[in-house]
Amino acid sequence: MREAFIKSLFSLAEKDPNVMLITADLGYGVFEEFEKKYPNQYLNVGVAEHSMMGVASGLALEGRIIFTYSIGNFPTLRCLEHIRNDACYHELNINIVTSGGGFSYGGLGMSHHATEDLSIMRALPGINIIAPGTAWEAGEATIALYKDKKVGYLRIDKSKLDQPKISNNDFKIGRANIFREGRDITLIAAGGILDETIKASTELAKLGVESRVISLCSVKPLDIDMVRKACNETGGIITIEENNLVGGMGSAISETVLDNNFQPKVFKRIGLQDEYSSIVGSQNYLRSLYKIDSISIIDKVKRAINLIDSETGTLNLFKKNALEVINIEKRYDKQRIKKYVKEGVVLSPITENDLENDKKIILLKEWRENNLDAFPISPKITQDGTFRWLKNLVLDREDRLMFFVKDIFGETIGHVGISSFDYQNKTCEVDNIVRGKISRQKNAMNYAMQALLCWIDEKISPEFIYLRVFNDNTKAINFYDKLGFQLDALHRIKKVENINKLKYPSSEKEVERFFVSMRIKCNEINKG
């Protein structure tokens, strides 16, 4: 990253004689060529960071564009008052560049560990904070800070990660960069810890977990749209930073989530737990010790999205796979329709597009009206009510999926569905089984159910599939019996009038009806 910064600085100094580099007794062997080529644009003030900021402020007031350079904490924490009172308050064009973010200088001890700088610098009004994760970001950030003409803080890590330029995406202050796409979880990293984050995402992919990897190089200002999309499009957000969690990048994300009423399914911060890094060691060793390395990220991701059983500690991919498959089906690609065919009967996933089709809403309304005896309560069936039911109780539920059933003649004759996943026990329910009209094709609904069971087995692979049917619906019970379902249990039910809900009585005297629970073992499904 340092080399990328220097390269960009050379190009700026060549074009603009007002660009100056000021160091505090650092950069020997690094800046010698710069000093030789641009002697009037270079100063070394010695081991005097306070003086460096004072000189920088004075020169900036005279129209110079300043880049200061030192190690991690020294030009930030040591010079905080100068940065606040002189640079930020007067809106000077000074860019504070530090080498050695996080544990880069881990072997030199706590005084050289830059693990609070992001938190402290974030609190200053009128400052850009950039923590590049790659050499490309470091080089582009240098140019962007020059152009922005505000106080800037550029935190350079000693990481060697050298990702190429993001395609079709120029660097911009206030915008994050996406390095990997995924829908299961979003991993947001600031600074050099991006390399551990990418390692973690690669290993997670081998487990079937696809993560969106974001480099939040612009910690301030922050990419709000990126946060919104991560909340809405993926299974949640996990932030990773080589910095104290108090006031750091993760705090900035959480503030954004709450301020904008975003609702991620999962939110977890990874970083230092409000503690000083008192241990001495290499950057890799300290990352591992403080549990911010790739192994720790993987473990925390699996736990955050509930892929690890809390009792056994074993990986549970059933939940992830089920939700992913349902999400895919709700987007519905017609090119994949052949997978849901049995004896010419086709299962077509019901999607958001069906909400916009009044004919389908009316059809569903009529089927519901004609099958009121299948409801445990007696709802009033309307077109608006059917729309809300389809949207709120089917499409918006992440564990529910319905299919329209089309017979061999292409006529829509009913619907079938799945819901109620028990991720711990690896079970699900078949529900919303409705024959809307009699088909000219013999046994069409039988074939539809066979297709559904095979689809569940292939796509979800639970251990058992359950369904519930009223005890007085002997025709349906016989139908499911022929498919291979067996009696599992009886559940007493009673309608509670006026509040449109069910009661499950403990006493036989209160019973009005029974639910018959039936189940089939997945490996016993007849796929013939």
Taking residues 16-43, what's their average pLDDT? 89
- Would the pLDDT of 180 be above 80? yes
Please report whether residue 312 resides in a domain.
Answer: no
H/E stretch holding 415 reads strand 412-422
Domain termination site, one of 234, 269, 304:
304
**For the residues of 184-204, what is the DSSP string, one character each?**
SEEEEEEGGGHHHHHHHHHHH
Residues 325 and 297 in one domain: no
Q: Which amino acid appears at position 321 of this protein? A: N
Integer Cα distance of 322 and 423 in angstroms: 9
The region of weakest confidence among 263-272, 367-376, 493-502 is 493-502
* The one-letter amino acid at 375: F
Domain extent for 408: 320-524
pLDDT at res. 302: 84
| Residue of 458 and 197 predicted with greater confidence | 197
Q: How confident is the model at residue 508 (pLDDT cuts 50, 70, 90)?
A: low
Quote the CA–CA distance of 431 and 468 in Å, as a whole number. Answer: 8
For helices 249-259 and 224-233, the axis angle rounded to 10 degrees is 70
What is the rounded distance in angstroms from the CA atom of residue 339 to the CA atom of residue 342? 9
Q: Is there a contact between 185 and 266 (Cβ–Cβ < 8 Å)?
A: yes
Residue 526 — pLDDT band, cuts 50, 70, 90? low
Q: Whose CA is closest to 56, among 97, 9, 26?
A: 97
Residue-level pLDDT at 401: 93
The percentage of the chain sitting over the pLDDT mark of 90, rounded to a whole number, equals 59
Nearest C-alpha neighbor of 216 from the set 231, 194, 200, 233? 194
- Give me the mean pLDDT over the 1-5 stretch: 88
**169 falls in which pLDDT band (50, 70, 90)?**
low
Residues 50 and 111 in one domain: yes
Residue 310 located in a structural domain: no
Give the distance from CA 2 to its chain's centroid.
30
Phi/psi of residue 341, each to 5°?
-105, 135
Q: Do 15 and 44 belong to one domain?
A: yes
Helical spans, DSSP H, in 344-487: 352-355, 358-370, 383-388, 444-459, 474-483
Residue 313 resides in a domain: no
C-alpha span between 200 and 287 (Å, rounded): 13
What's residue 335's pLDDT?
A: 62
Sort residue 313 into left (φ over 0), alpha (ψ -120 to 50) or beta: left
Cis bond leading into 221, ω under 30°?
A: yes
Distance between CA 165 and CA 363 in Å, rounded? 52
Q: Is the pLDDT of residue 263 over 60?
A: yes
Q: Are residues 451 and 391 in the same domain?
A: yes
- pLDDT at residue 340 greater than cutoff 70: yes
Residue 23, SS3 per DSSP? strand
* Domain identity same for 199 and 269: yes
pLDDT at 329 over 90: no
Is 454 within a domain?
A: yes
Structure tokens given for 509: 């005297």
Distance from C-alpha of 69 to C-alpha of 19, rounded to nearest angstrom: 13
Is 515 within the bounds of a domain?
A: yes
Q: Are residues 204 and 251 in the same domain?
A: yes
Say how far apart CA 185 and CA 197 lie, in whole Å: 12
- Any residues with CB less than 8 A from the CB of 273 and at least 6 apart, and which? 245, 290
- H-only helix segments in 207-341: 224-233, 249-259, 283-289, 294-304, 317-331
Asked if 353 and 423 sit in the same domain, the reply is: yes
CA angle 210, 323, 427 (to 5 degrees): 130
- Same domain? For 143 and 181 the reply is yes
Domain boundary among 246, 269, 304: 304
* Domain co-membership, 261 together with 325: no
Give me the CATH number covering residue 467. Answer: 3.40.630.30
Q: How does the average pLDDT of the chain come out, rounded?
A: 87
311 located within any domain: no
Distance separating alpha carbons of residues 40 and 37, to the nearest angstrom: 9
- Per-residue tokens: 187: 């991993």
Phi, psi at 307, each rounded to 5°: -95, -5
Q: What is the reported pLDDT for 54?
A: 93
pLDDT reported for residue 470:
86
Q: Kindly tell me if the per-residue pLDDT of 511 is higher than 90.
A: no
Which pLDDT belongs to residue 105?
Answer: 85
d(CA 367, CA 413): 10
Mean per-residue pLDDT, 20-44: 88
CATH of the domain at 234: 3.40.50.970
Check residue 278 and give its pLDDT. 86
Q: Beta strand pairing status for 427-435 and 464-470?
A: parallel
Segment 500-520 shows an average pLDDT of 67
Q: Quote the pLDDT of residue 109.
A: 87
pTM for the predicted model, two decimal places: 0.65
The pLDDT confidence band at residue 509, using thresholds 50, 70 and 90, is low
Helices and strands: H and E segment counts in the chain? 17, 21
Q: Are strands 127-130 and 211-215 parallel, antiparallel or unpaired?
A: unpaired
Q: How many domains does the chain have?
A: 2
What is the average per-residue pLDDT within 402-421?
94
For the cut 80, the answer to whether the pLDDT of residue 510 exceeds it is no
Query: Comparing 371 with 54, which gets the higher pLDDT?
Result: 54
Of 113-117, 130-134, 502-506, the poorest mean pLDDT is in: 502-506
- Answer for the pair 120, 77: CB distance below 8 angstroms, yes or no: yes
Record the tokens describing residue 483, joined without a space. 């498919």
pLDDT digits (tens, 9 = 90+) for 204-231: 988 878 899 999 999 999 999 999 999 9
Per-residue pLDDT reduced to its tens digit, 89-105: 999 999 999 988 889 88
Cross-strand partners of 428: 465
Give the total residue count for the chain: 528
Distance CA 514, CA 517 (A): 9
